Amino acid sequence: MRLDKFLCDMQLGSRSQVRNVIKKGLVSVNGVPVKSPDWKLNEKQDIVAYMGETYTYRQFYYYMLHKPAGVVTATQDRHMTTVMDLLPAVCGKDLSPVGRLDRDTEGLLLITNDGELAHKLLSPRKHVEKTYYVECSGVLTAETINLLENGVDIGDEELTRPARVKLMAQSDGSYAMELTITEGRFHQVKRMVQAVGGSVTYLKRLSLGTLCLDDGLPKGSYRPLTEKEISDLKQLTTITSA
């Protein structure tokens, strides 16, 4: 791989910017300054350093973002802050969110450039579980729980697939629950709650498959996934559900 492409893939600047940095002798390969942008390196073995930091090449990158409310799930938007604006200087080219959370929804969002994994996580054939913490107005009865867990009519051609409900709290006219679904229909959680006579007042995604939101990750912050988290997701998506 050419040195300038390597630095671009590391998100260290545009092609012209990194070429200028290289020509100034600010980049070293295996401890030796290199001034040629065309320098061919072994990205899997050579050690590249710039401004005191070393960079290891990876084809795919994976980040966990704790999405706050008020941010849109998009790679770019002319008028609103996007989830990608919250990751301004991370490594990895062509990063994008896996699926989407509504603007007013908080919680776990996976950001990656691994298109194959993203496709599998979103595939209706895989039935990957997604768990949400939901606060609602209304009353949650045994009958409405049964409806949610066995499929409700939200106006589509088919009922929703079976879900799991865990009641967390209930008071006069409101309740909180954890709802686990295996689909990703438009506004699905809100429509399911509405179908049983309630209304969502707060929504937060807690997990996507084997990946759970890090309790220590503040809203608007992100971190790279661990190797185990990546491995668990890949292993999960090798299983095709009927």
CB distance 193 to 134 below 8 Å = yes
Q: Is 172 a catalytic residue?
A: no
Asked if pLDDT for residue 240 goes beyond 60, the answer is: no
Q: What percent of the chain has pLDDT over 90?
A: 86
| 241, part of any domain | no
Region 84-112: what's the mean pLDDT?
Answer: 93
Give the CB-side neighbour count of residue 138, counting CA atoms within 13 A.
Answer: 20
Region 178-191: what's the mean pLDDT?
Answer: 96
Do 12 and 24 belong to one domain?
Answer: yes
- In this prediction, residue 175 has a pLDDT band, given cuts at 50, 70 and 90, of very high
Query: Which entry of 102, 104, 114, 172 is annotated as an active-site residue?
Result: 102
| 29, part of any domain | yes
Do 49 and 102 belong to one domain?
Answer: no
According to DSSP, the residues that pair with 134 across neighbouring strands are 177, 203
pLDDT tens by residue, 2-27: 999 999 888 788 899 999 999 999 99
For residue 228, count CB atoms less than 10 angstroms from its CB and return exposed for 0-12, middle for 13-18, buried for 19 or more.
exposed
- In this prediction, residue 168 has a pLDDT band, given cuts at 50, 70 and 90, of very high
Query: Residue 70 contacts by C-beta under 8 Å, 6 or more apart in sequence?
Result: 81, 103, 104
- In this prediction, residue 242 has a pLDDT band, given cuts at 50, 70 and 90, of very low
| 162, part of any domain | yes
| 242, part of any domain | no
| 164, part of any domain | yes
pLDDT tens by residue, 42-76: 988 999 999 889 988 888 999 999 999 999 999 99
Q: Which segment of 4-8, 24-28, 177-181, 212-216 scores lowest on mean pLDDT? A: 4-8
| 70, part of any domain | yes
pLDDT of residue 12: 86
* CATH code of the domain containing 35: 3.10.290.10
Angle formed by the axes of helices 115-122 and 227-236, nearest 10° = 50
* CATH code of the domain containing 186: 3.30.70.1560
Query: Distance (Å, rounded) from C-alpha 148 to C-alpha 150?
Result: 6
Number of folded domains in the chain?
3
| 147, part of any domain | yes
| Both tokens assigned to 186 | 């438009």
Taking each continuous run of H as one helix and of E as one strand, the counts in the chain are 6, 13
pLDDT tens by residue, 119-152: 999 999 999 999 999 999 999 999 999 999 999 9
Do 186 and 217 belong to one domain?
Answer: no
| 163, part of any domain | yes
Do 167 and 218 belong to one domain?
Answer: no
Do 50 and 144 belong to one domain?
Answer: no
Do 217 and 202 belong to one domain?
Answer: no
Do 219 and 170 belong to one domain?
Answer: no
Query: Residue 237 contacts by C-beta under 8 Å, 6 or more apart in sequence?
Result: 117, 120, 121, 126, 128, 209
Do 179 and 73 belong to one domain?
Answer: no
Q: Which domain holds residue 10?
A: 3-55
Do 138 and 203 belong to one domain?
Answer: yes
Do 40 and 155 belong to one domain?
Answer: no
pLDDT of residue 92: 84
Do 115 and 214 belong to one domain?
Answer: yes
* CATH code of the domain containing 94: 3.30.70.580
Do 93 and 112 belong to one domain?
Answer: yes
